[in-house]
Structure 1
Amino acid sequence: MIRSHCLRRTPAAPARPGPRRVLPAVGVLLAAALLTACGGRPLQAGAAAVVGPDRITEAAVQARVAEFRAQAARLPSGQYQEQAGLVGATVSGMIFSEVVAQALAEHRLTVSDTEVAQARSDQAQAWGGEAGLEQMLLLKHAVPAREIDNFHREQIGLQKLAALGGRQIGTTDGNKTVHQLLAEAAAQLKVTVNPRYGSWDAQQAVLDSPSEDWLPQSGAAA
């Protein structure tokens, strides 16, 4: 799978392999006190999206973005550059996490804390320690430090979804399997999105006009 970058690493920084996740960058400014999106459900003021029974508030989105920017600001000068679409990408990522969780629940799959801890340890070792891991995930995937465990839980979950069809994530067949399962989960949740962050495509289970789809593409490589 692929994922858009919200910060650009300078050419001097070494390129290393890392986990990938899909996040789009979208944003259409539209304010309203009471909103109704493609799913037909009303969105109360202050909601960025409604995913099943859960409401993703604009305050939660703003807090996540603020956390990301505060951590990025502590990096050495010239090591990062924020690109357009960070807020929309954040909303989409929060929706994505809910959809992955739904897909796992539907198929009675779980990810243990032990699995998450092992994945984090392996990645930290590959990146020269926790500090290196935090910087890599921030720059490459816009993941703030407090979300690292959730990021790894999500990645392991995607691998388990692919394994349902005897596939591996990152292969054509594996991505196709995961895409189908996530689309089904998104349809079950009846995702509704505040139009300021984009419009919801119920058939494709994506936000319209993202720079990159947040679901794995059936023919995409990791």
Structure 2
Amino acid sequence: MHRRYRRRRTALLLSAAIAAAPLLTACGNDAHPGAAAVVGDQRITVSQLENRVNEVRAAQRAVVSDEAQYAQAVSRTGSLTRDTLHGMVLDRVLHQAAQDAGITVSRKEIQEMRSGLEQQAGGAKALETTWLQEYGVAPARLEENLRLQLEAQKLAAKLGTDTTQPEFWKALSEASEKLDIDLNPRYGSWDVQKSGRVDAKTPWVREVSAPDAPQTA
């Protein structure tokens, strides 16, 4: 597998992806009103999801002042809300799998990883911009993402594999099953075997762009 693809897949595994922020015209999950998802005994509220989406959008706006470039960035990312929720749930799945394996990550390890990446990227600001543009991680979430990257690396190493191999994803699948993930139907459903969100086949659910966001195709 191509090295860049592996790197991108791993980063997307551990973070919310960048995209436009749609409003969905569908009823919520009556079993969990106000929840975008329930992961174990924790709720991810619609408000929390919207805040995370807004963080990415605000960070994008801060680094792209030209309207045409901003519109282009939005057009390349057409499902931020759903992709962000996928990332938020998968982050918790990975953390659960790491805990089950007895894996911990120290503050020092995060700082060392960040320092190394900053050197490669050409500075702290360059690293933040890269993580935002490539992986949809807002600057405020960078160290949180790096912690998850380290958890993934340590989990894969303990399993004697890497993050692209079935053994790694099997561990995430077991964590998914343990957490009994329940997504609000408007965002699809969670596939335990794949440890990923899948869209519900509901053609009557349509996405409407937020009033202050550019329209997407």
**Alignment correspondent of 1:183:** 173
**Alignment correspondent of 2:12:** 21
Q: TM-score scaled by structure 2?
A: 0.77
**Alignment correspondent of 2:114:** 120
CA distance in 2, matches of 1:166, 1:33: 41
Q: Does 1:51 align with 2:39?
A: yes
Which residue of 32, 53, 60 corresponds with 1:65? 53
Tell me, which stretches of 5 or more residues in structure 1 are unaligned?
5-18, 36-41, 211-222
- Residue type of the partner of 1:81? A
CA distance in 1, matches of 2:197, 2:8: 14
Q: CA deviation at 1:168?
A: 3.3
Greater helix fraction, Structure 1 or Structure 2: 2
Q: CA deviation at 1:131?
A: 0.6
**Alignment correspondent of 1:218:** none
Answer yes or no: is the 8 Å Cα contact 1:28–1:198 preserved in 2: no
CA distance in 1, matches of 2:155, 2:195: 17
**Alignment correspondent of 1:194:** 184
Which residue of 148, 155, 158 corresponds with 2:152? 158
Q: TM-score scaled by structure 1?
A: 0.75
- Aligned residue pairs total 185
Q: CA deviation at 1:30?
A: 5.3
CA distance in 2, matches of 1:3, 1:191: 25
Which residue of 85, 91, 101 corresponds with 1:97? 91
Q: RMSD across aligned C-alpha pairs, in angstroms?
A: 2.5
> Percent of pairs identical after alignment?
33
CA distance in 1, matches of 2:192, 2:162: 26
CA distance in 2, matches of 1:33, 1:68: 24
Q: CA deviation at 1:113?
A: 0.8
Q: CA deviation at 1:3?
A: 4.7
Q: CA deviation at 1:169?
A: 3.4
CA distance in 1, matches of 2:192, 2:12: 21
- Residue type of the partner of 2:113? A
Cα deviation, 1:11-60, whole Å, max 9, x if unaligned, reads: xxxxxxxx7333678x894533543xxxxxx32x2100000011001101
Which residue of 6, 18, 26 corresponds with 1:31? 26
- Residue type of the partner of 1:20? A
Tell me, which stretches of 5 or more residues in structure 2 are unaligned?
1-5, 201-217
**Alignment correspondent of 1:220:** none
C-alpha change, 1:166 and 1:205, in structure 2 (3 Å) is closer
C-alpha change, 1:207 and 1:74, in structure 2 (3 Å) is same
CA distance in 2, matches of 1:188, 1:131: 38
SS in 2 for 1:200: strand
